[in-house]
Amino acid sequence: MRRNLICSPFLAGAPLLAGALLLAGALLRAAGVCAADAPSGAFVLHPAQVWSADGKAAHAGWSVVVQDGRILAVGADGSVPTPTGAHRIDLPGTTLLPGLMDIHSHLFLHPYNEKLWNDQVLTEPVAYRTLRAARQAQATLLAGFTVLRDLGTEGADYADVSLKQAIEDGLYPGPHLYVATRAIVATGTYGPLPRGFRPDICCTPQGAQEASGVPEVIKAVREQAGRGADWIKVYADYRWGPGGSAQPTFTQEELNALVMAAHTSGRPVAAHATTVEGMRRAILAGVDTIEHGFDGTEELFRMMAARGIAYLPTLTAQEAYAQYFEHYVPGGGASNELIENSARAFRLALKSGVTIGCGSDVGVFAHGTNYRELEWMVRDGMTPVQALLAATAVDARILRKDGELGQIKPGLAADLIAVPGDPLQSIAAVEHVSFVMKGGVIYKQP
Ligand SMILES: [Zn+2]
């Protein structure tokens, strides 16, 4: 999944010495290419404190040793083994923590106040959207988010599979990606067609793959899996009811078949669901995560907790919608129904004991500002520690990658970031990530 050697197209096959990397890092970044590490690169990181996302407090005076792209040791300064030739990196005044994760993203979208969703899907060629997505992946990584689960290209076909490959091949800097490709919607329920268009228009690009009936949903799962989907994304409800109201989309039978087909292939299912009935059907079908859940009830969250279904609240998306379409001014003091409803659901979810991860729906708002979701989770009732856990160890567990990512622990991938001060006291510190390492490669340093 990860490679030790990551370099620019010009440097392919010619690993730089780690020392040269440190000196050249800023230049490489300025040129918009990624850095390269020597396969044997070793580093000793000295922050003011280390927070490992293992349920314990932060440790002052600890250092982290990285070798060959993995964490070799963590412990008090002087007590950890230092490989010969290891490069010392001082990060004074910072907290070192695992790379952050946002497991509900859309790299192939950009904010709707720049261009409405319909216009992006209908007018932007897939090639343009892919180039843009690569740029947005870089912004995400430099903001300290080393993992994304990208939940649908929204009309850009299977381009996320190629973007993921290009990042893994070292052609572009970006987070580890887990992708969902086209996503699956019930016929006629999503967009751009048919709502708002004359009925004799057909065959425009669609925001997701349409399916109806058990054979078609099974076929859609198999097609997407075959073309590289890591997760299957399904819309269990959408705003296709009378007057644009949100209503369930698939029947219970269709959803059951979809989940069965996905699980048969070894792939988990993420369900978009905002309504009570959409959530209930998704839960009964046995999906693995529920996205949004804005109308979620205590009973539904308890059902999710009992069945091990995780919740991704996407609180920031609601703020963005309120801003774009309801004249909401952030920090302006006025209340907004969308924001209040998502906060209500979040508090119920917290109380119910359901697993809550960090997933923001970024793409609706600007890539590289994913940190807003952590700030919202704290505003709506989590402690900073809970929010940071959601965006590290908990997200890793939801992704079934907790043996690989999400903590500072020997043997795990060296995905590490530093922020000034103490994010465990003030979550806003995550806005100012000063150091980023992914897979033992430095992408940003003070
Ligand atoms: Zn989304």
| CA 361 – ligand 1 centroid, Å | 5
| CA 292 – ligand 1 centroid, Å | 8
pLDDT-based confidence at residue 235 (cuts at 50, 70, 90): very high
pLDDT of residue 436: 98
| CA 360 – ligand 1 centroid, Å | 8
| CA 16 – ligand 1 centroid, Å | 39
pLDDT of residue 7: 33
CB atoms within 5 A of ion ligand 1 belong to 361
pLDDT tens readout for residues 38-89: 435 899 999 999 999 999 999 999 999 999 999 999 999 989 999 999 999 9
pLDDT of residue 266: 98
- In percent, how much of the chain has pLDDT > 90? 87
Q: For tokens 């090639």, what's the residue?
A: 127
| CA 152 – ligand 1 centroid, Å | 7
| CA 110 – ligand 1 centroid, Å | 12
In the chain, CATH 2.30.40.10 covers 9-98+406-444
Average pLDDT across the chain, whole number: 92
| CA 392 – ligand 1 centroid, Å | 20
| CA 298 – ligand 1 centroid, Å | 23
pLDDT-based confidence at residue 10 (cuts at 50, 70, 90): very low
| CA 153 – ligand 1 centroid, Å | 10
| CA 271 – ligand 1 centroid, Å | 10
The b-or-e profile of 390-415 (16+ CB within 10 A means b, else e) is bbbbbbbbbbebbebbbbbbeebbbb
Evaluate if residue 165 carries a pLDDT over 70: yes
| CA 422 – ligand 1 centroid, Å | 30
CATH topology of domain 9-98+406-444: Urease, subunit C; domain 1 (2.30.40)
pLDDT of residue 313: 98
Q: What is the mean pLDDT of residues 83-96?
A: 96
User: Across the beta sheet with 209-211, what order do the strands follow?
Assistant: 209-211, 184-186, 232-235, 269-273, 289-292, 310-312
pLDDT of residue 11: 32
Separation between Cα atoms, residue 208 and residue 192, nearest integer Å: 10
| CA 82 – ligand 1 centroid, Å | 43
- The answer to whether the beta carbons of residues 76 and 61 sit under 8 Å apart is yes
Least confident of 193-197, 261-265, 348-352, 421-425: 193-197
pLDDT-based confidence at residue 373 (cuts at 50, 70, 90): very high
| CA 412 – ligand 1 centroid, Å | 29
pLDDT-based confidence at residue 6 (cuts at 50, 70, 90): very low
| CA 150 – ligand 1 centroid, Å | 8
| CA 262 – ligand 1 centroid, Å | 19
pLDDT-based confidence at residue 160 (cuts at 50, 70, 90): very high
Separation between Cα atoms, residue 324 and residue 341, nearest integer Å: 17
More confident residue, 416 or 22: 416
As given in the structure block, the two tokens for residue 170 are 């070292």
- The answer to whether the beta carbons of residues 438 and 175 sit under 8 Å apart is yes
| CA 236 – ligand 1 centroid, Å | 13
| CA 372 – ligand 1 centroid, Å | 15
- In percent, how much of the chain has pLDDT > 70? 91
| CA 285 – ligand 1 centroid, Å | 20
CATH topology of domain 100-398: TIM Barrel (3.20.20)
pLDDT-based confidence at residue 333 (cuts at 50, 70, 90): confident
Separation between Cα atoms, residue 181 and residue 208, nearest integer Å: 9
pLDDT-based confidence at residue 234 (cuts at 50, 70, 90): very high
pLDDT tens readout for residues 286-295: 999 999 999 9
Query: What are the two backbone dihedrals, phi and then psi, of residue 307, each rounded to the nearest 5 degrees?
Result: -100, 5
pLDDT of residue 196: 86
| CA 109 – ligand 1 centroid, Å | 10
| CA 25 – ligand 1 centroid, Å | 34
In the chain, CATH 3.20.20.140 covers 100-398
pLDDT of residue 332: 83
pLDDT tens readout for residues 239-260: 999 999 999 999 999 999 999 9
| CA 60 – ligand 1 centroid, Å | 38
| CA 7 – ligand 1 centroid, Å | 31
Evaluate if residue 151 carries a pLDDT over 90: yes
Separation between Cα atoms, residue 360 and residue 378, nearest integer Å: 13
- The answer to whether the beta carbons of residues 70 and 437 sit under 8 Å apart is no
| CA 151 – ligand 1 centroid, Å | 6
Query: What are the two backbone dihedrals, phi and then psi, of residue 410, each rounded to the nearest 5 degrees?
Result: -55, 135
| CA 185 – ligand 1 centroid, Å | 13
As given in the structure block, the two tokens for residue 78 are 């002087």
pLDDT of residue 19: 37
| CA 83 – ligand 1 centroid, Å | 43
| CA 90 – ligand 1 centroid, Å | 38
pLDDT of residue 334: 85
| CA 275 – ligand 1 centroid, Å | 15
